[in-house]
Structure 1
Amino acid sequence: MFEKGYIDENYVRVSRDELFSFVVKVLMKLGVPKEDAEIVADNLIMADLRGIESHGVQRLKRYVDGILSGGINLKPNIRIVREGASYALIDGDEGLGQVVGYKAMKLAIEKAKKSGIGVVVVRNSNHYGIAGYYALMAAVEGMIGISMTNSRPLVAPTGGVERFLGTNPIALAAPTKDKPFLLDMATSVVPIGKLEVYRRKGKPIPEGWAIDSEGNITTDVEKVFNGGALLPLGGFGELFGGHKGYGLSVMVDILAGILSGGTWSRHVKNTSERHSEVDHFFMAINIEAFVPLEEFKEKMSRMIEELKSSKRHKDFERIWIHGEKGFLTMQTRLKIGIPIYKKVLEELNQIAEMVGVEKLKVKG
């Protein structure tokens, strides 16, 4: 198995079904409709299953706080504002981002089935979890899926020290003869959730992830949270392509924010605030409109095999394909349970006590 069964004493394991049921019960207690609660739970738990701890159930408190503060509309009027055969503009009415995103990508897929391409942009939504979740929805349907979202300002532009850009993730998924190809990445060096994980564990962050309020590269996570900023993909300056990550982040703001009639990252707010103004971009490409699906899958698989069998650096055991580690991790965690950091477990059980549901059952 890809992931060893052993985990250190700071973690416990919880089954996927137990975790899913727990999240659904918590959200329903807060007034979220069952169908919507299941979409949110599936999104969060897919992150944990695939090893993206930063975007998994440790984020549940963020949504609970957003609901309790009134920042999330539990009964949104998610509506189509403009529409054509291959496109649509949706207003999310401040609903849960996962619910808005799920419905928007479903619409993009429906349009792609009829028109070859479906593009759906969304304004007035909330944080939508992992971008790859929506891209994979299209890949399962035999299509290429693209998903992007802007987010609150956390990243300094190249040459700046101020938080201006979001981590603005991009995801692309494509079917193969085996497991789908999945690129799911922030346009910053790392997402803010990674820093939250280090903060919980009381560990310094790797050098090159972020700067302090004066623009100095720092490993002190508290300095980042207190006036510092993440760096764009490529890192500090232009030497290693930091300006390219900066440009990709702006691209997401253009496609998700400005094109939807929404806003750009500097003006996006926290989930717990009213009118957080998060915007999304979704695209589904019907492969059959261009080439036969089986031909596409066969060529994708051949390309991947050629990549994996290309000459390998002596310091690496293998060449990975995007999405492969996450797929193998998911297979293992479905069997032996999802590792949950004990401090996260405590937080989840505090939420359970607050809303009046049973605490999480840990695997023995």
Structure 2
Amino acid sequence: MTNISHSDLAAFIARCLGACGMPAADADRVGGMMARADLMGQEGHGVFRLPMYIQRIRAGGMNMSPEFKVVSDRTATALIDGDNGMGHLVMHHATELAMEKARNAGVAWVGARHSNHAGPASLYAMMPAQEDMIGIYMAVASANHMPPWGGTEMLLGTNPIAIALPSDKFPPIVLDMATTVAAYGKVKTAALKGEQMPEGWMVDRNGAPLTDPTKSADGFLLPIGGPKGYGLSLIFGILAGVLNGAAFGRDVVDFNADAVSTTNTGHMILALDIKAFTDPDTFRADIDAVWTQMKSSETLSGVDEVRLPGERMHSVTQTRLKDGIPLPEALREKLGLMADDLGVAPL
């Protein structure tokens, strides 16, 4: 592993995207958001994805100068068309719009279609949380890796949800989870590191455990909680995809395998202004009280402490701000070759 600072990583990503024709301001924004994924410990959605993004851009599968259009607009709702733009930019725009509407209406739901892969769900749920709001984000995953419960045809993805709640003295509570036991990005990063997967992440088409990430195409991901996870993936996909006129089921394009076809990825973001219910200071203090209750509860034998959603992410972020972001040597070499090909300064 080699450590690199968040700012250097963000600048590198921006250089690469700029070399592919992305406007400088957009490249800087995406670079910062992608590097933040690595900073938070969500490596499967950070710079690891950059070569795939670059491949899609150079193949003409993504629009570098999108014009976002509001397809439907009401007081507390909107649907935007991302014009096949970079998912990070589409969802940043959608989240800003949701927060603007929530300041007036108390709550706002904004859907997006004709987008692309947008990185970790928590990026967008945390934006409202930084503005005394609660953020809820869902998306249709950028590839199908899970069948409906009891089936074998992969019609569903990891279809994630993230919910962020602001606090005062403690870190915000941030739930960011796939509806599968493991996100597919973790499978790909395990393969890159030469690691095996734990049993329970995937099974082969006969239902036997699959632990070799390089053979992931021979099987499929398992849902969390069996049929309950399947149900969540289905509903989240409908809310983020079908409702918005975005791809779902057999219409989903495998972002990892097809760099040309338009993905029409769907997302949704909900922003809820805490002031519509209570004083934000009171709410943040109440969330601190929740922290205290959970952390002070008695633990099972062999368990050191109770942890809250987002606690590890906050700890990793603080460590990496100080010590830098670790990059596997194989990934660093891959990024170096890509930088040479693009004619930009390497990491």
Q: How many residues align?
A: 342
Match of 1:131 in 2: 121
Is 2:156 the counterpart of 1:175?
no
Paired residue for 2:63?
A: 73
Query: Using the alignment, how far apart are the partners of 1:265 and 1:304 within structure 2?
Result: 39
Structure 2 residue aligned with 1:192:
184
Equivalent residues in 2 for 1:235-274, closer than 5 Å: 242-271=226-255, 272-274=259-261
Kept in 2: contact 1:98–1:127 (CA 8 A): yes
The Cα of 1:56 is off from its aligned counterpart by 1.4
Moved over 4 A (4+): none
Aligned partner of 1:232 among 223, 226, 230 = 223
Tell me, yes or no, if the aligned pair for 1:352 and 1:358 is still in contact at 8 Å. yes
Q: Could you say what the CA RMSD is over the residues aligned between the two structures, in angstroms?
A: 1.1
Residues 43 and 130, structure 1, Cα contact 8 Å, conserved in 2: no
Most deviating of 205-214 and 277-286:
205-214
> Which residue of 127, 133, 152 corresponds with 1:161?
152
Q: Map of 1:204-353 to 2, 5 A cutoff? A: 204-225=196-217, 227-234=218-225, 242-271=226-255, 272-353=259-340
Unaligned runs of 5+ in 1: 1-10, 235-241
Q: Is the 8 A contact 1:71 1:275 kept in 2?
A: yes
Distance 1:265 1:42, change over 3 A: farther
Question: 2:39 is matched with which residue?
Answer: 49
Larger mean CA deviation between 214-223 and 187-196 belongs to 214-223
Contact 1:161 1:228 in 2 (8 A): no
Q: Aligned partner of 2:244: which letter?
A: S
TM-score (norm 2): 0.96
State how far apart, in whole Å, the 1-side matches of 2:223 and 2:235 are: 13
Aligned-residue sequence identity (percent) comes to: 40
Within 1, Cα distance between the matches of 2:73 and 2:107?
Answer: 13
Answering whether residue 64 of structure 2 is matched by residue 64 of structure 1, we say: no
Kept in 2, the 8 Å contact 1:74–1:95? The answer is yes
Write out per-residue CA displacement over residues 68-103 of structure 1, whole angstroms, 9 at most, x where no aligned residue: 111111011211001001000001111000000000
Segments of structure 2 that go 5 or more residues without pairing to the other structure are none
Q: CA deviation at 1:270?
A: 3.2
The AA in structure 2 aligned to 1:60 is: L
- Aligned AA (1:108): A
Pairwise CA distance, 1:215: 2.9
Which of 75, 85, 93 is the equivalent residue of 1:95?
Answer: 85
The offset of 1:335, in angstroms, is 1.1
CA contact under 8 A between 2:144 and 2:254: conserved in structure 1?
A: no
What SS is found at the alignment partner of 1:172? strand
1:66, distance to aligned residue in structure 2 (A): 1.0
How far off is 1:274 after superposition? 2.0
Residue in 2 that maps onto 1:357: 344
Q: Which amino acid aligns with 2:119?
A: G
Write the deviation string for residues 20-57 of structure 1: whole angstroms up to 9, x where unpaired. 11111110010011221122212211111111121111
Deviations 1:253-311 (A, max 9, x none): 11111111223143211332321111001000001011111111111110111011101
Q: Using the alignment, how far apart are the partners of 2:202 and 2:193 within structure 1?
A: 18
Shift of 1:145: 0.2
